[in-house]
Amino acid sequence: MAANSKTQQIQGDDNKDDKFPLASISKIVTTLWAIDRLGPDYRFQTKLHVTPTANGSYDIHIEGSRDPLFGRNMSYFLLSELNRMKITKIEKLTFDENFLLAWLAEEKPMIGGTTPKYSTVEQQASVVRATLTSSFATAINPGYYAILKSKAARIGVQMSLRPKVDVRTVSFVKKAEFQKSEKTTTMVLLSSPLKNILKRMNNQSNNYIADNLFWNLGGSEAFNAYIAGKMQADETDIVFHNGSGNNEGSVAKPVYNEATCETMIKVLYSLDKSLSAKGYELSDVMAVAAKDKSSTVGGYGGVMAGSTTAKTGSVNKAKTLMGSVSTKNGEIYFAVLMHTDYDKSRSDWGVASQQIKNKVSQLINQNGGPKAINYTEQLPLPFDKYSYLTKVTTITTAKK
């Protein structure tokens, strides 16, 4: 199914009003919801309450912001920042229920795996405490850190040569129970803008980021209310169980997000409109074929290369692709949902993927051929040059 961005006329086959499994193109719906609710420039603010103790040590309490991209990369940046602040010894490291930490948030198997969902605050706190103890409070991986430091320099962020922080104890303290002393200084650690986080999510097809954003925004009940108001859509048009498109059921009885092709075209149009209102484009949150090399469309060539902004999707019974193509006849939104009642093998996925590429290439050629997008590959990290630890009293409310 396709629609011209100017005329908004939707064209498709006889199944355009039938719901099909979306797989990871679900993440574009999650992207739209996050952009509409928070704005593309929104930053998660993780606060550190720092209290000096004896012998040059500090007590630090982390007041979380439910930043969905707080993993190894953000942790290494924080360690670097603590050393810049001359903090090398922590007596007591505490954190509250809003501090999410998954060390492998941007790495396998977390990217494409099942996102941990905790039934109690205590269960989540136990996992976070274990991660802080076993990973954050131990020696950094020098090779990994060197690569991150090099990437950071490319976006104008300076990091310490090799940070080291000794942590004596780690424990959970509820937000309502934490109390500052007269000696406490509060600092804030800003995430990258939301659009960068979404770009990373869609480049990697990262389930962990997508699911946590979906839960942060209120989950299925809040989503149903949002999509009904946004698009006058109901369960005959779209059904969502999570933010990633991953299986929400069991292996025997899988449950997937579903929507009609027409609904997904409307999602693209709405996302493009919401972004352009803030001066951004789809390529600021989605991958560009052959330009974003490390993305799921990084290897797409031919007429799609440099002209197609898209998101892929794969689950055992579906192969999907949605996005926009830049042609001589203008920008065209498209959504291709291929589905079978039989479990798909990797070879089946390969055949379906090629069929989808052929359909999109044909769409481009039928509209005068490709028109290259003015785009340079972005490097979306969980932090940027505005993320340096800063005392709360100096923080401005202006968006960066």
Q: How far is CA 304 from the centre of its chain?
A: 24
For range 120-144, the mean pLDDT: 98
User: Is residue 118 predicted with pLDDT exceeding 50?
Assistant: yes
- Coil, strand, or helix at residue 255? coil
- What CATH code would you report for 45-191+383-391? 3.50.80.20
CATH number 3.40.710.10 is the correct assignment for the domain at 19-41+195-367: yes
pLDDT for the residue 12: 63
Q: CB burial class (10 A; 0-12, 13-18, 19+) of residue 249?
A: exposed
**Residue pLDDT, tens place only, 156-207:** 999 999 999 999 999 999 999 999 999 999 999 999 999 999 999 999 999 9
- Name the nearest CA neighbour of 183 among 47, 46, 83, 49: 49
pLDDT for the residue 280: 99
For range 109-138, the mean pLDDT: 98
- Name the nearest CA neighbour of 35 among 275, 265, 322: 275
Please list, in sequence order, all residues whose beta carbon lies within 8 angstroms of the beta carbon of residue 222, skipping any fewer than 6 positions away. Answer: none
User: Is residue 9 predicted with pLDDT exceeding 90?
Assistant: no
pLDDT for the residue 341: 59
* Distance from C-alpha of 313 to C-alpha of 85, rounded to nearest angstrom: 43
User: Is residue 81 predicted with pLDDT exceeding 70?
Assistant: yes
* 312 membership: H or E segment, kind and range: strand 308-315
pLDDT for the residue 134: 98
User: Is residue 345 predicted with pLDDT exceeding 90?
Assistant: no
pLDDT for the residue 13: 67
**DSSP per residue, 167-235:** EEEEEE--GGG----TT-EEEEEEPPPHHHHHHHHHHHT-HHHHHHHHHHTTHHHHHHHHHHHHH---T
Share of the chain above pLDDT 90, in %: 89
User: Is residue 346 predicted with pLDDT exceeding 90?
Assistant: no
pLDDT for the residue 396: 47
For range 126-134, the mean pLDDT: 99
pLDDT band at 1 (very low <50, low <70, confident <90, very high): low
pLDDT band at 339 (very low <50, low <70, confident <90, very high): confident
Greatest CA separation found in the chain?
A: 74
User: Is residue 397 predicted with pLDDT exceeding 50?
Assistant: no
pLDDT band at 394 (very low <50, low <70, confident <90, very high): very low
pTM: 0.95
pLDDT for the residue 350: 74
Tokens describing residue 399: 């968006």
CA dist 197 → 15, 67, 292, 318 (Å): 34, 10, 15, 26
Amino acid (1-letter code) at residue 290:
A
pLDDT for the residue 18: 92
pLDDT band at 5 (very low <50, low <70, confident <90, very high): low
pLDDT for the residue 231: 96
CA dist 44 → 71, 213, 381 (Å): 14, 12, 14
User: Is residue 244 predicted with pLDDT exceeding 90?
Assistant: yes
Enumerate the domain spans of the chain. Answer: 19-41+195-367, 45-191+383-391
Q: What spatial distance separates the first Cα and last Cα of the chain, rounded to whole Å?
A: 37
For range 145-153, the mean pLDDT: 99
User: Is residue 208 predicted with pLDDT exceeding 80?
Assistant: yes
**DSSP per residue, 13-60:** -TTTTSEEE-GGGHHHHHHHHHHHHH-TT---EEEEEEEE-STT-EEE
**Residue pLDDT, tens place only, 82-106:** 999 999 999 999 999 999 999 999 9
* Distance from C-alpha of 306 to C-alpha of 209, rounded to nearest angstrom: 26
For range 367-387, the mean pLDDT: 98
pLDDT band at 274 (very low <50, low <70, confident <90, very high): very high
Share of the chain above pLDDT 70, in %: 93
Q: Which of 213-222, 316-325, 388-397 has the lowest mean pLDDT?
A: 388-397
pLDDT for the residue 347: 60
pLDDT band at 119 (very low <50, low <70, confident <90, very high): very high
User: Is residue 395 predicted with pLDDT exceeding 50?
Assistant: no
pLDDT for the residue 15: 75
